[in-house]
Amino acid sequence: MTINIHKFIRQFNKEYDFLYEHRDRVAGYDEAVSAFDSFVASGENAKQFVRDFVLFRGDFVSSDREAAAFMFALEALTGYGSGIYG
């Protein structure tokens, strides 16, 4: 998986802000949170991308909102998980 980390962090921040503004009450939120765990467990490439993201961002993915924002950003930029979040 090749994703520009700069584009990804911008999309992640956009998704996170949207979730925050709507108090996490958006279609597909719970599914995206669950999908984050599945994504991380899907293989070494996924784990490495999450590691790269954490290092670039300087913070762990430690909340459900962050996990959902991560997956919404991944879907927006790659189509990964298209249609399963609502």
**Would you list the domain boundaries of the chain?**
5-78
Q: Does residue 84 surpass a pLDDT of 70?
A: no
Could you tell me which residues come within 8 angstroms of residue 71 by beta carbon, excluding any fewer than 6 positions away? 32, 33, 35, 36, 39, 80, 81, 85
Q: Is the pLDDT of residue 2 over 90?
A: no
Task: Give the tens place of pLDDT for each residue, 24-65.
Answer: 999 999 999 999 999 999 999 999 999 999 999 999 999 999
Read off the pTM.
0.93
Tell me what the pLDDT averaged over the chain comes to.
Answer: 93
* Long-range contacts (CB closer than 8 Å, 24 or more residues apart) made by 16-19: 16/65, 16/66, 16/69, 19/65, 19/68, 19/69, 19/72
